[in-house]
Structure 1
Amino acid sequence: MALETWLAFFVACWIISLSPGAGAIASMASGLQYGFSRGYWTALGLQLGLLLQIAIVAAGVGAVLATSALAFTLIKWFGVLYLLYLALRQWQAPPAPVLDERAPRPTGRPLSLVLRGLLINVSNPKAVVFMLAVLPQFINPAQPLLPQYGVMALTMVGVDLVVMAGYTGLAAKVLRLLRSPGQQRLVNRSFAGLFAGAAGLLALVKRSST
């Protein structure tokens, strides 16, 4: 991949990652609830989902998803239901007042948080179709494809890890400012509303609009 092509793709990755979405909401929710060191496991799960999406596009399966109404619809509604499930869990999350920086935070199992991030990304067919439209624009068909997809995968994951670290860390800092159960309950329910909103937006996605 030529340097100028990679630089253009690098800029595009920042724009894509910084765009608010379900992944950003999940990272902030995990940072808020568990703190940075534990909540960042969700971001790692998001990257596994991202790698799987890139692999699907590289393997050509993404073209099938883009043309199959049934496959697109099944994955879309799985994503909608999962985001609604996360909204319910966030709404029901018990408040854990933080009195000082040494106060204990709730603990989440790393594997569970990784799985949460993975499912959020893989259950978004729009993302696969989007990558199917974007990634080939940076591919030189005269050169081996696998190394090029490998470079793009590393670039996208690297940028997204930085961005999600920012989202997770910002929310973890906010957690320290919450001094009462009422404040934490309000924030938890705000994130629940964001998850529900993301589910609603995904439900409105139509294959023909890609």
Structure 2
Amino acid sequence: MTLQQFLIFFAAAFLLGASPGANNLLAFVSATKAGWLRAAKSVIGRLAGWAVLVVLVSLGLDILLHTSEVVFVALKWVGVAYLTYLAWQFWNADVSTDVEAPEVSTLMRREFLTLMANPKAYLLLTAFLPQFVNDTAPIMLQLLMLGGAYLVIEGFAALLWVTAGTLVGAHALTPLRRKIINRSSAGLMGTAAYLLARSEKA
């Protein structure tokens, strides 16, 4: 990969990683409740999910997704169900100020499951990474290296959302403000579930 290609890859990967989405929203809300360090640690769960997807893409997941309607539809409805579940959790979350912040292990599990239940993440990697592969080296090795670079960029972008959530949470959120954040998050998760349900395979 030339320097120009790498810069294009870096810019595109950062825009994709920093764009609003279920995981970034989750990181933001987690940071308002649990603080920067716990929320930052939870991002490890997301990166573990991305690592799994990178390996799967390297092993040919892109071919399976593009050729199997059954696999795509199954992934889509699993994603719809999980996003709906998250929306319900946000909507009904306890907003009292004396509620303990979730444990890091819980936050990491949410990050991991949110990513793995989102078929858009699968399609992102299967459509994005192969664009930067050439014939000068083994394809699998290139996909793994590109995937590793994407994980680093994704992690950095996620920490920006964590930092934003921490800054919001630092302003002594009242129960009313907590409710507004939770209900807004529930609405966004529900909207994401709805749009995913209506999506068709490209």
TM-score by length of 1: 0.88
Deviation of 1:44 after TM superposition, in Å, equals: 1.6
Q: What secondary structure does 2:161 align onto?
A: helix
Name the structure 1 match of 2:80: 80
Superposed CA RMSD in Å reads 1.8
Q: What secondary structure does 1:177 align onto?
A: coil
User: 2:87–2:190: 8 Å Cα contact kept in structure 1?
Assistant: yes
Name the structure 2 match of 1:101: none
User: 1:65–1:125: 8 Å Cα contact kept in structure 2?
Assistant: no
After the TM superposition, which parts of structure 1 deviate over 3 Å for at least 4 consecutive aligned residues?
none
User: 1:33–1:105: 8 Å Cα contact kept in structure 2?
Assistant: no
Q: Which amino acid aligns with 1:187?
A: I
The Cα offsets for residues 157-186 of structure 1, whole Å up to 9 and x where unpaired, read as 111111111111111211122442112112
How do 1:49-60 residues align onto structure 2 when only pairs under 5 Å count? 49-60=49-60
Name the structure 2 match of 1:25: 25
User: 1:87–1:192: 8 Å Cα contact kept in structure 2?
Assistant: yes
Name the structure 2 match of 1:158: 152
Output the CA distance in 1 between the equivalents of 2:47 and 2:12. Answer: 17
Q: Quick one: percent identity of the two aligned structures?
A: 30
Output the CA distance in 1 between the equivalents of 2:2 and 2:15. Answer: 20
How do 1:136-155 residues align onto structure 2 when only pairs under 5 Å count? 136-155=130-149
The Cα offsets for residues 102-153 of structure 1, whole Å up to 9 and x where unpaired, read as xx77232222222211111122223222322221111122312343223212
Name the structure 1 match of 2:122: 128
Name the structure 2 match of 1:15: 15
User: 1:91–1:188: 8 Å Cα contact kept in structure 2?
Assistant: yes
User: 2:59–2:140: 8 Å Cα contact kept in structure 1?
Assistant: no
Output the CA distance in 2 between the equivalents of 1:162 and 1:105. Answer: 29
Q: How many residues align?
A: 202
TM-score by length of 2: 0.91
